[in-house]
Amino acid sequence: MKKNQLSIRLHGEQVGILEQTLTGKMIFTYDTTANQVISIGMPIREEPYSETQTEAYFAGLLPESETVKKIIGKQFGISHNNNFALLKAIGYDCAGAISCHTLNEPIEAQDSFPLNGRVITEAELYKHIKELPQKPLFINIDGLRLSLAGAQDKAAVCLIDNQIALAENGCPTTHILKPSSSHFEGIAENEYFCLRLAKRFGLPVPDIQLRQISDITFLLIERYDRRIKNLRVERIHQEDFCQALGMLSSKKYQNEGGPGFKDCFELLKKTAQPALDRNLLTSALVFNYLICNMDAHGKNFSLLHKTQSNIRLTPFYDMICTRAYQKLTSKMAMKIGSRYDADNLFPRHWEQLCDEIYYRYIAMKDIIKNGAEFMLKIAHEEKETLITTRHHHPIIDTIIKIIEKNSKRILDRFKK
């Protein structure tokens, strides 16, 4: 019986074979000549990786939305539940430097690709964005074969001379396009504002633009897993925390068996600069708490494999004030101490967290108190900037009220 196999390539070089077993699951085996790992949690070894670990990593490259998977499946005539078939269909340009190929595709190891794409008109872009719910990831447009993880509508594009283009001739995409949503008013402005606050807070974040076409607002986010130099695009490998920990995307929330902060901080022991990355992650978790981002789950933190031995925490992304939408939960994706409920968080819960992650409580307390005071200042400053640049939206006023309430509450509790 002919085996269902894909050639898995990292920076264009084959590192192993992904095989679909008779049960429909997947196993991964490194080539004997492989010298690059695909995941910090999957070191090079002779024996195949189990279905569980393989599924956690490779399914993590695919969109999470069942609706999106069904549309892609219908487009390519495959089952939306068949992750192997989905990767074969759209896995040419994945997050990081991984690409999925049929066994007969020529192996062309390349460090970089010419920045190449077809610049599209505003009318074309408007049409493509409107069609995103029916054509996720811009599939079936110019033969695109790319995959993005996550649950939101989005697409990957190139930016050429500040114009949006669809990648051609094997060029990796350079930017993520995320349009506004009819389900969540002002979601693009929400994320734009929060990422601007994060940068002021001292967190590394991707370069981000807020653009408008007619009645559509969208974000254009520079991919941190790509590097452009001399009009050539390089892929930089990355993986999210769920992939690195061998946890399925469907279990990305801690209360469903996904990672908690203890797991995340343990993972950072394997980076090139653990102390620096621990401090960054600490600041990020405090920031997410202050802006009331309840959706900071395991797939919203990632590792960047700059080289085989230089693995670092990536810039932070998907930072949104989720409490601005009443229908979304007030329960945090990862608990702080023994609490998921952000409103009932007290200093003792932060101290519990510090005990779990081996972080000095006195240092954590300073980050929280100074961070809360700083947020009260910069939120209004950033609002004024957005008004000046005509990017203001009523959602910003809602977010500021939430930040003020949360920051004042935490400052009051730490005084007692």
Q: DSSP assignment, residue 315?
A: P
- Cβ burial, residue 366 (10 Å; 0-12/13-18/19+): exposed
Fold of 113-227: Phosphorylase Kinase; domain 1 (3.30.200)
Joined together, the tokens standing for residue 114 give 């010419």
Question: Tokens 């094997």 — which residue?
Answer: 170
pLDDT value for 131: 85
Mean pLDDT in residue range 253-261: 95
Which of 122-136, 250-264, 341-355, 367-381 bottoms out in mean pLDDT, i.e. has the lowest?
122-136
Domain ranges of the chain: 4-101, 113-227, 260-415
Q: What is the model's pLDDT at position 350?
A: 97
Burial profile 379-404: b = 16 or more Cβ within 10 angstroms, e = fewer: beebbeebeeeebbbebbebbbebbe
pLDDT at 145: 47
In degrees rounded to 5, what are phi and psi of residue 135?
Answer: -130, 70
pLDDT tens digits along 2-22 = 579 999 999 989 999 999 998
Bridge-partner residues for 159, per DSSP? 164
When mean pLDDT is compared across 167-176, 203-212, 346-355, the lowest value belongs to 167-176
| Opening angle at CA 209, ends 227 and 58, nearest 5 | 50
What's residue 111's pLDDT? 74
Range 258-274 average pLDDT: 96
Write down the mean pLDDT value for the chain. Answer: 91
Query: What value does the mean pLDDT take over residues 54-67?
Result: 91
**Average of pLDDT values for 342-369?**
96
**pLDDT at residue 158 in the model:** 94
Average pLDDT rounded to a whole number, residues 318-329: 92
Q: Which residue in 295, 318, 343, 355 is the catalytic one?
A: 295
Q: How far apart are CA 213 and CA 125, in angstroms?
A: 8
Average pLDDT over residues 296-319: 94
| Residue 258, pLDDT above cutoff 70 | yes
Query: Which amino acid is present at 166?
Result: L
Structure tokens at 331: 């329960």
Strands (E), 263-313: 302-305, 311-313
| Residues ≥6 apart with Cβ < 8 Å to 3 | 19, 20
HEC states along 239-253? EEHHHHHCCCHHHCC
Q: How far apart are CA 261 and CA 270, in angstroms?
A: 15
Q: What is the pLDDT of residue 149?
A: 61
Q: How confident is the model at residue 340 (pLDDT cuts 50, 70, 90)?
A: very high
C-alpha dihedral sign at 35, 41, 46, 52 = negative
Packed helices 361-388 and 187-200: angle between N→C axes, nearest 10 degrees: 130
Nearest to 94 by CA among 38, 152, 33: 38
Q: What is the pLDDT of residue 152?
A: 66
pLDDT score, position 410: 94
By C-alpha distance, which of 371, 395, 40, 22 is closest to 237? 40
The pLDDT tens digits for 78-135 are 998 999 999 999 888 889 999 999 998 888 777 789 999 999 999 999 998 988 877 7
pTM for the whole structure: 0.93
> Alpha-carbon distance 192 to 198, whole Å?
10
**Alpha-carbon distance 114 to 121, whole Å?**
22
Q: Write out the DSSP string of 173-210.
A: P-EEEEE--SSSTTHHHHHHHHHHHHHHTT-----EEE
Higher pLDDT, 393 or 147: 393
- List alpha helices for 59-153, DSSP H: 66-76, 83-90, 122-130
| 31 carries an active-site annotation | no
pLDDT at residue 7, rounded to an integer: 96
Q: Express each pLDDT in 143-182 by its tens digit.
A: 444 555 655 678 889 999 999 999 988 889 999 999 988 7
Nearest C-alpha neighbor of 253 from the set 299, 219, 284 = 299
Total number of residues shown for the chain: 416
